[in-house]
Each structure stands twice: as C-alpha cells, then as structure tokens.
C-alpha cells in the first residue's frame, strides 16, 4: 500500500501516466475532482481555487487571507484523500503537502519542449509554434513563482522527487511500468508509523482550516503570510 504523487509541467503527459498507473495498480486517482469537491462543499467558485494553486500571488492577495484560505481548503482535501492510502494524485502542489511522509513515491514527469508545443497547439487550437512556446513558458513561470513564493521551492528541482521520467524515448506505458516497479520497493510501503504521520498531517490541516475559516478573507493583513517576508 502506497501513495504516488505525479508532478508535471504543462502538456507533459503526466495526467495520462497517472490515470494509466492508477488503473494498473487498482489505486484511486485524484486531481481536479478535489477542486470540484471543495467548490461544492464550501460554495467557492472552482476558478478561484484553480488560480490559488496555479498563479503567483497578486499584490492584493499578498495582504489578504483570500488565497491562504483557498490553499488551506485544497491542502485539507488532498491530505484527507491521501490518508486513505492506495492513491495516485496528479496535479500541481500535491507533493509539497506530503514531502516528509515516507511511503509517498514522488514522481516528476517531463517532456521534450517540441512535444509540449505540439500538444499545446492541438489541445488549445494554437496556430503558431511561437505562440504555443510562449504560452508553455508562461505557464511554467507562473507555477515556478507560485512554489517559490509559497514554499521557497522550485518545482523543476529534481532533488524534490524520487523519480524523474522523461517522456520521449521512454513512452507513457514505459513510465507506468517504471513507477509500478518502484512503488513496490520497501521504502514506499505503508507502515503503521508512516500511516500515523499521514493521519496526523491530515488532522493538523483540518484544524488549521477551521482556524483560518474564522478570519475574514478580505482586507485583513496576512501577519503569518508565506508572502509576508520576501
């Protein structure tokens, strides 16, 4: 029993790897559905949650509790899902929340830039390679800014992951096989002690959420903001 987090750059086939991986292992697979769940439970527009984890903070957001609240909602939902074990989480931010949990296999999926550009052009109906390249680079930069502002971590730092797999010579199916073999290794097996750590993390996130929920999300200084001390 294990947890697998899949981090990826935009248009790098990470979501396909995650879905095929979960199916092969018989694990649950979560990503955007967490945001939908939070949106319904707390009556928050999904677009606000998406912006909270994909965009670097605006000047206004650095001095309000709005984004801190949204991220607390997301953190709580992700950790409560992961505490159930046997799950693949793919998407931005997941690996940050469980970086100290032993039985989490943290994977980064990367792809050749030409391949990413082709995917961008196909999926977003972009007509020029130059425009697609600019869009990919902008998304990458926004995500890098977000992780640096919030955690002081660069998502492209390979040291954050147990596995970094390039989708080029290694196919999607090959990546799935590699991850399946890696997750069977002893260090990534859930133990009573590691599960206790996971449950504690989820409980602390819920308690933090309840604490933050008493604060107004607007026009109140972020005294303990992750962006307060730059």
Taking each helix axis as running N to C, give the angle between helix 32-42 and helix 46-54, from 0 to 180 degrees, rounded to the nearest 10. 130
Phi and psi torsions of 212, nearest 5°: -65, -30
Nearest one of 108, 146, 115, 112 to 8, comparing CA atoms: 108
Q: What is the average per-residue pLDDT within 11-30?
A: 92
Tens digit of each residue's pLDDT (9 = 90 or more) over 35-75: 777 777 777 776 777 666 665 555 445 545 566 777 788 88
Q: What is the average per-residue pLDDT within 199-217?
A: 81
| 76 or 46, higher pLDDT | 76
State whether CATH 3.40.50.300 applies to domain 3-210: yes
Checking if the pLDDT of 152 tops 90, the result is no
Tell me the CB-side half-sphere exposure of residue 89, using CA atoms within 13 A: 27
Give the separation between CA 25 and CA 12, rounded to whole angstroms: 21
Query: Left if phi > 0, otherwise alpha if psi is -120 to 50, otherwise beta: which for 27?
Result: beta
Whether residue 76 contacts residue 206, with contact meaning beta carbons closer than 8 Å, is answered with: yes
Q: What is the average per-residue pLDDT within 116-142?
A: 88
The pair of three-digit structure tokens given for residue 158, joined into one six-digit string: 């390979």
Going from N- to C-terminal start, the domains of the chain cover: 3-210
Mean per-residue pLDDT over the chain, rounded: 81
Tens digit of each residue's pLDDT (9 = 90 or more) over 21-45: 999 999 999 887 777 777 777 777 7
Give the separation between CA 2 and CA 181, rounded to whole angstroms: 12
- Evaluated on CA atoms 78, 181, 175, 20, the torsion sign reads negative
Tens digit of each residue's pLDDT (9 = 90 or more) over 83-112: 999 999 997 667 888 988 999 999 999 988
């Amino acid at each position: 029993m294990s947890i697998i987090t899949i981090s990826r750059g935009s248009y790098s086939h990470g979501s396909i790897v995650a879905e095929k991986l979960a199916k092969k292992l018989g694990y649950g697979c979560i990503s955007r559905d967490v945001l939908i769940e939070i949106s319904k439970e707390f009556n928050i527009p999904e677009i606000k949650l998406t912006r909270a984890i994909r965009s670097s903070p605006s000047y206004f957001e650095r001095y309000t509790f709005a984004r801190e609240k949204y991220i607390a909602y997301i953190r709580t939902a992700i950790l409560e899902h992961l505490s159930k074990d046997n799950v693949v989480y793919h998407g931005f931010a997941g690996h940050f929340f469980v970086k100290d949990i032993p039985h989490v296999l943290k994977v980064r999926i990367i792809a050749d830039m030409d391949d990413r550009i082709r995917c961008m052009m196909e999926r977003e109906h972009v007509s020029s390679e130059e425009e697609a390249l600019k869009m990919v680079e902008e998304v990458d930069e926004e995500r890098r800014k977000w992780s640096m502002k919030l955690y002081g971590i660069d998502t492209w730092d390979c040291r954050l992951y147990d596995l970094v797999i390039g989708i080029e010579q290694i196919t999607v199916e090959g990546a799935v096989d590699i991850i399946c073999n890696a997750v069977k290794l002893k260090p990534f097996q859930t133990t009573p002690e590691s599960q206790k750590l996971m449950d504690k993390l989820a409980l602390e996130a819920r308690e933090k959420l309840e604490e933050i929920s008493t604060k107004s999300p607007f026009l109140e200084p972020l005294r303990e903001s992750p962006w307060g001390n730059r």
